[in-house]
Amino acid sequence: AQRVTQPEKLLSVFKGAPVELKCNYSYSGSPELFWYVQYSRQRLQLLLRHISRESIKGFTADLNKGETSFHLKKPFAQEEDSAMYYCALSGTGFQKLVFGTGTRLLVSP
Amino acid sequence: EAQVTQNPRYLITVTGKKLTVTCSQNMNHEYMSWYRQDPGLGLRQIYYSMNVEVTDKGDVPEGYKVSRKEKRNFPLILESPSPNQTSLYFCASSRDGRNTEAFFGQGTRLTVV
């Protein structure tokens, strides 16, 4: 079965520090990975997806099939990055997104 | 503006009183789904629909019903709500269910007493 694991419920860093939000997945097929973000009082929205290989708001994520990981990274955290981050998985053969339990990122001044 | 709209945003109801949460999208998306969000459990899919009149169970379908009579609407029905259905509910739509971006509604916070 497909599964997404985000081991950290809360990640607290100071402004300017590097950030890495961990995401591991379990899926035997060809995965498609996403990061979604939910800012306070806003709806969930797509941050980035691995197929685009893009950097959004300074965040990047690399799909590592050997380690089955899709960690989200940013070299210098900003206060406005404080939010709930969800890693999600999709793939051939199943028509849905499987979400992890989420990591709350708190960036302090 | 392209969006997914849910109503109501907040609802308090009593056990056993049937309720419907509406969801509408204006992007002509084929795929729509419902999730519930609970602390420590993340988002779990309740039901999804790949097109009009095509619906299927997600991971936690018990106690819920859905219908997809029109492409734009995907209501969530709780025939006999119970306190364990107290949760934050999100509707989402996407062009398809796989590698395209999912657009989410604002959420509906439901409390069943």
Rounded Cα–Cα distance for residues B108 and A57 (Å): 28
Q: Do residues B85 and B110 lie in contact, with contact meaning Cβ atoms separated by under 8 Å?
A: yes
Q: Give the strand pairing for B31-38 and B42-51.
A: antiparallel
Task: Identify all chain A residues contacting B90, using CB atoms and an 8 Å cutoff.
Answer: 43-44
- The sign of the dihedral angle between the CA atoms of A91, A10, A62, A74 is positive
Rounded Cα–Cα distance for residues A79 and B5 (Å): 29
**pLDDT value at position B107?**
95
| Among chain A residues, CA nearest to B50 | A95
**pLDDT value at position B66?**
98
Q: Do residues A88 and A49 lie in contact, with contact meaning Cβ atoms separated by under 8 Å?
A: no
Q: Cβ contact (<8 Å) for A90 and B97? A: yes
**pLDDT value at position A93?**
61
Give which of A74, A70, A73 is closest to A62, Cα–Cα.
A70
Phi, psi of B22 (to 5 degrees): -90, 155
| Among chain A residues, CA nearest to B42 | A101
**pLDDT value at position A82?**
98
Each of the 113 residues of chain B gets a pLDDT tens digit; together they read 879 999 999 999 999 999 999 999 999 999 999 999 998 888 999 999 989 999 999 989 999 999 999 999 999 999 999 999 999 999 999 987 666 788 999 999 999 99
**pLDDT value at position B97?**
64
**pLDDT value at position A97?**
84
Q: Measured in whole angstroms, how far is the alpha carbon of residue B54 from the centre of its chain?
A: 15
Average pLDDT by stretches of 10, chain A with 109 residues: 92 97 91 92 90 84 91 96 95 77 96
**pLDDT value at position B70?**
96
Q: Do residues B26 and A70 lie in contact, with contact meaning Cβ atoms separated by under 8 Å?
A: no
Cis bond before residue B8 (omega within 30° of 0): yes
- What pLDDT, in 10s, does the model give residues B12-27? 999 999 999 999 999 9
**pLDDT value at position A37?**
96
**pLDDT value at position A92?**
67
Å between B113 CA and nearest CA of chain A: 24
Task: Identify all chain B residues contacting A45, using CB atoms and an 8 Å cutoff.
Answer: 104
**pLDDT value at position B93?**
93
Give which of B75, B98, B100, B69 is closest to B24, Cα–Cα.
B75
Sheet strands (E) in chain A: 3-5, 10-14, 19-21, 24-26, 31-38, 45-49, 60-61, 72-74, 83-91, 94-99, 103-108
Tell me if residue B16 falls in helix, strand or coil.
Answer: coil
| Among chain B residues, CA nearest to A84 | B42
Q: Cβ contact (<8 Å) for B48 and A43? A: no
